[in-house]
Amino acid sequence: MKLPAWTRRLPWSIVVAAVLLNAIGLAAIARVEELTDGAGRFLHQQAAYSVLALAIMLLLTVPNYQTIGRYSYAIFAAALLLLVAVYWHPPINEARRWIRLGPVGIQPSEFAKVAYVLALARYLMHRDNYRRLRGLLGPLLLTLLPVVLVLREPDLGSSSVFLPVFFVMLFAAGAKRRDLACVLAVGVLLLPLLWTQMNPDQRSRVVSLFDQPQPGQMPSRQAYQLYQAKQLRAMGGAWGSWIASQPTDDPAAYRLPEAQSDFIFAVVGERFGLPGTALMLLLFAWIVGRAVAIAQETREPFGRLLAVGVATLFAIETLIHAGVTVGLLPITGISLPLVSHGGSGLLAHALALGLLLNVGLRPGYEMVNEPFRYVVNPN
């Protein structure tokens, strides 16, 4: 039986990489449940969301991505409204990041990242004024809206993702390096203002980066989480506890707050050692590399920018999460795409990959001489 044409064109390697990353995440979450004598609640939730995420990722390849793109601004506006709506819901752990709908919690900041990529790609495909310095004000304003709302939740991790995506997508769209450097310089000069707007907990996370304890020295309260993450990773050794199990008699050594989400990278290292973490990073690199390749093959501007945005989103979140876990970056509370526990994060990244697969299915467009118009290549 001959398979439909779309099944042959679909970038299945991305789907396989995503499924493998999700499987690693489920194994790591199961390890967290084992170390904390949990009842399997986290694992069961994530397994259910994993099935839904895979279905969403594949279903999103059915409509043409340009049809979805027509609603980019509406999707972005809805995401902003959800970011505002969190302030009418009770805080959880002193943060207003979730909207509770009965037993289900939605974290709008995760979906706002994907909505932002859609909106920025749509904005840039219709204009060329961003190739001049003052033309950057429009996309910069588009970026600052979600950044300010997410930062006030507070969610330092999610808010730190938008600006790198902004710079990479503008660079891919043709903005001048000199102009981008000017915007970056202004951002650096405004860092003291950002510091004044951070709450004491966020400041302590930054300070703890420069106050890491020496071997044998007890960590401060601010550095406790990072200390435990590094210790947990070290206990796995080179091959991980799954192969060379060497359990310690001190149960406190395995205690790591939010291990199933913010520090899942450390759990993967403890369980599967260097081979496991290397495989996980290679799978992320494969997804990012294929996204860049799809962007290069796509001759229609919205699809090209959409692929660049998804590639940058995955790359930045992976680098920040890994950097936090090994003590190279301040603790921001950012999850690892497809691996960390969390239904909103898993579904949002499935949406992003679905859009990427959609673009990969439909690269056959040719640009004509008139700006920002295209014709469909019948071949």
Annotated domain spans of the chain: 10-200+224-366
User: Rounded CA gap, 176 and 184, in Å?
Assistant: 12
Q: Which two tokens stand for residue 63?
A: 């409509």
Neighbours of 275 (CB within 10 A): 13
User: Of 185, 186, 188, 226, which is closest to residue 204 (Cα–Cα)?
Assistant: 226
* Model pLDDT, residue 368: 39
Look at residues 369, 375, 360 and name the one whose alpha carbon lies nearest to residue 298: 360
pLDDT reported for residue 148: 87
pLDDT of residue 180: 82
- Before 154, cis peptide (omega within 30)? yes
Instruction: Using the Cα atoms of residue 176, residue 182, residue 186 and residue 191 in order, give the sign of their dihedral.
Output: positive
Residues in the chain: 379
Quick one: pLDDT at residue 284? 97
Residue with tokens 């860049």: 292
Q: What angle do CA 222, 226, 228 make, to 5 degrees?
A: 110
pLDDT of residue 377: 43
Task: Give the Cβ contact number of residue 138 at 10 Å.
Answer: 14
Task: Tell me which residue of 263, 261, 266, 262 sits closest to 276, measured CA to CA.
Answer: 266
What region, left, alpha or beta, does residue 338 occupy, with left being phi > 0 and alpha being psi -120 to 50 degrees? left
Q: What is the pLDDT along the chain (379 residues), one digit of tens a residue?
A: 455 566 677 888 999 999 999 999 999 999 988 888 776 788 999 999 999 999 999 999 988 999 999 999 999 999 999 999 888 877 776 677 878 877 778 899 999 999 999 999 999 887 665 566 666 788 888 898 998 888 887 777 788 899 899 999 988 888 888 878 887 887 777 677 666 666 666 666 676 666 666 666 666 666 777 878 888 888 888 888 887 766 666 667 677 888 888 889 999 998 998 999 999 999 999 999 999 999 999 888 999 999 999 999 999 999 999 998 888 887 777 899 999 998 999 999 999 999 999 999 887 554 433 334 444 443 3
